[in-house]
Amino acid sequence: MTEETVKVLYNVSYGGFALSDETIKLYNERSTELKIVSRYEEVSRTDPILVQIYEEIGYKKFGLGRGASIDIKEIPKKYENYYKINEYDGKEEVSIDYNAYKVGASMKIINDTEKTAEEKIAELAAILNQ
């Protein structure tokens, strides 16, 4: 059984994450909830609509072109809320805050009212030993 993953968009060259006019147009046509108004606007890097557009038109048309070279990194879905994008001069890297994940997952187990104490202990041990 393969682990479910999430795709994260990030910029792999210097110059910063910026969306092309074509990407903005396609996104605004497809999204019913959110509209992008600026190429430099903060967007969800895991937004399924943006990821789909990237996969359809490719990195050359997706990013602004002046330095932006967007790529995708897949991370396990369980870390979806615990990834960070670290940036230096516009070039980005995707990393996972494993400590924050362990705390969040542990709190979820502790607060689960349907599990026995023994089940909670076993699950907590598994998370903390990862």
pLDDT in tens, 6-40: 999 999 988 888 899 999 999 999 999 889 988 88
Residues 30-88 pLDDT 10s: 999 889 988 888 899 999 999 999 999 988 889 876 667 899 999 999 999 999 999 99
Number of structural domains in the chain: 2
User: Quick one: pLDDT at residue 15?
Assistant: 80
Neighbours of 26 (CB within 10 A): 21
Shared domain for 28 and 69, answered yes or no, is: yes
Q: Which residues pair with 115 in a beta bridge?
A: none
Q: Is 83 exposed, middle or buried (0-12, 13-18, 19+ CB in 10 A)?
A: buried
Shared domain for 24 and 40, answered yes or no, is: yes
The residue range of the domain holding 119 is 97-130
Mean pLDDT, the chain, integer: 92
CB of 22 within 8 A of CB of 57?
A: yes
CB of 59 within 8 A of CB of 9?
A: no
Shared domain for 113 and 88, answered yes or no, is: no
Shared domain for 90 and 125, answered yes or no, is: no
pLDDT of residue 92 exceeding 90, the answer is yes
User: Quick one: pLDDT at residue 66?
Assistant: 62
Shared domain for 82 and 106, answered yes or no, is: no
